Structure 1
């Protein structure tokens, strides 16, 4: 795997700063907006259920039948909190990969594909076992091919933990982490402060 590197924020000019759409400066509204105006999945996903060693499962949404695309470079997407293939960032990235000749796949965390998981165990930002097992299964099942992993938000936090734990032993050639909540306590407090009633009900 390539060496993990970080980007110095000073390399970017002020012109690269994020400017929200007029009328949508609130960060929570920006989060909810894609839910209200959701882009539809523009490809027909190939679904596969992967049985896990502990008797549970995760569902995989491929850009095409992986058995017929073993030779293609692979892009693995780990979604954010309660995300799925239906999340615009997830299916948008898989679609972009497909158009460039890659095999894309979204690994749904336990309980996120529309069906409750079997075991009394859920995913969280530090739970790396399922992703680690999946990546090794991917190489074992379909052979070696260039593999990149992308994690969004909570999935990015999980991927960062996984890279820190396994480093070069992890069967990926590149990794990208997008908008990961590294300061989990502060993020939790911010969400609870913004939506106290909602957080208390869901938790």
Structure 2
């Protein structure tokens, strides 16, 4: 331990002793009640430490993520919002997608397009797409490199949405590269 760490530990011990001493002096007339409250706070403290230690396991149960299966297939659990979410490496940047088998193309939000190095100001929004929210303008792009589970695809066609989008959509221009897409028991499995 360094001198700074020893001094910090000494300070915390003295502070704890001062707080504990004042609590004992204030509650000396009712020591049983004070011991009960100290035990409750100790259990709360232990519970917080336990939750912190198990946080990764808890988040995987509450919000499961994609997994690569032993045969190279990609398993995607259904999220709490009822959709299937997948993270792909696009041009060296992790991009979160909502899987949309009803989308004919990969559709990037303007935010995600900027993150992977596409300048939206230089795009030609010449295309049109019908969405649940109406017709939007789109700009065709080609994704140099898309990687998922150790498989890299090059020159994947996509479009950048001219309107506002919360998430990018993983449509059929990418999903069509897989031999089989299967949904069962709340899990989507992609097989090459």
Give the TM-score band, short-chain normalised: under 0.3
Is the strand fraction higher in 1 or 2? 2
**Larger gyration radius, structure 1 or structure 2:** 2
TM-score (norm 2): 0.24
